[in-house]
Amino acid sequence: MISSPSVVTSLPDSPADSMRALLRIQQNAFQGDMSPSRAVRLDRLKRLNLLIESHADEFAAAISSDFGTRSRIEIRITETLFLQSGIRHAIQNLSRWMKARRVSTALAYRPGKSMIMRQPLGVIGIISPWNYPLQLALAPLIGALAAGNRAILKPSELTPAFSRALADAIAKTFASDEVAAVTGDASVGKLFAALPFDHLVFTGSTAVGREVAQAAANNLTPVTLELGGKSPAIIDASCDLESVIDRIAWGKLINAGQTCIAPDYMLVPRNDVDRFVARLRISMTRLYPKFRSNPDYSAIISERHLRRLRELIEDARARGAAVIEIEPLDPSVAAAARQLAPTLLLNVTDSMRVMNEEIFGPVLPIVPYDTLAEALAYINRHERPLALYWFGRNSAARDQVLAGTIAGGVSINDTLLHIAQEGLPFGGVGASGQGHYHGEFGFRQFSKEKPVFIQSRFSGGGIIRPPYKPSIERVLSWLSRFT
């Protein structure tokens, strides 16, 4: 069902005019089919799946090239398989999602009936980041296509090889009036955010997210912002460390900590800190026997980001933190490979940069606490996180944490895995974002849920229209008991 292939994948000349023209092409196409059939939507989802399958090796090579070092297996687990699971879920449930839903009608207005009709919004803009460049570009697209929309993507300029590969693959798979991608630097991204999309999705830092929201506000464009923040992980006094320590180490070190929902800091009972550190060091070296030239261990995306992480560590050291490097590397070798060994920080304080900025790397502060109430108070004094983790066996303590904190998503006795559940929404709250997608939640995010009332031919509405008769008071009194 594919029409002519997309031809707009890069914008070397007049990016603003080219993007506006592309948006008009998609808007006009949407006007011609404002309610795509299930068959059309399935075809687009299946083509998206084919795009991922047929370009998986090419994408992995490009991503690894952009990073310098990134495991092909890790890319397959966290990006390719993740997306294919989401597509499969959407295909299996599309019929149910598309159905109009009957809702109750007040007794006084029966036999009329009420329903909610889900219809696509139009053209969705998607601005994706560099850390999981394939997953975070195409995961929102799944929901957008399932809901019947068109879409334009702007992948990150920090992964240029991948962004070119993705744009080329999209151009070969979709017509430009269905799905297209534009490439370019940050200035192109700013122009992109200012376009009058019907909905705009941005994944990235909180600071840039504010700018994107302001640009979209000029067009009254609704936004889904998937940001970040400092996601805490709590070790409860009831925790069996041996059973969960590998899960914590994996969640922190996958992609070298360059994960928006990675544990940003640990809250550990004061008496357990030494035991926790010892076991975490063992676990990290078990998962990664070496960090130098290890193909399983990701590099930091750029020299600028590597320098920032080192500055966070040195700032903490200068302010009194104890710095524990899991495998100290020769600085010249580490710089050449951009691989930073895991670093634990003890005796941290709120005056340190590392406790005020999202870390986004393999640096893990450990904060001791004496009571669970103290730990929750510490979390709640700060901005609401994108993710929260709790480890323990005490169900009462678990419920206290769930009721006493607000976070974008939670995993209990594991890390990261709530994001992989298509039945759960993914999104932030407050400074960590707004809106959500994945599964049916993405379908709904990119749909207008239109309320519809259908009047019956036997409507009794005439009795409350003027000219009002003396009996109107009795009628209103009767109606008030049923409305």
* Catalytic residue list: 226, 260
Is the CB of residue 202 less than 8 Å from the CB of residue 193?
yes
130 vs 366: CA distance, rounded Å: 27
Give the angle subtended at the CA of 375 by the CAs of 208 and 362, to the nearest 5°. Answer: 50
Is the CB of residue 119 less than 8 Å from the CB of residue 146?
no
Is the CB of residue 173 less than 8 Å from the CB of residue 47?
yes
DSSP letters, 179-248, are EEE----HHHHHHHHTS--SEEEEES-HHHHHHHHHHHHTTT--EEEE-----EEEE-TT--HHHHHHHH
Q: Counting every residue, how long is the chain?
A: 483
443 vs 90: CA distance, rounded Å: 9
481 vs 3: CA distance, rounded Å: 57
> Which letter does DSSP use for residue 13 in this model?
S
Is the CB of residue 146 less than 8 Å from the CB of residue 97?
yes
CA distances from 124 to 27, 152, 234, 278 (A): 10, 6, 37, 48
247 vs 251: CA distance, rounded Å: 6
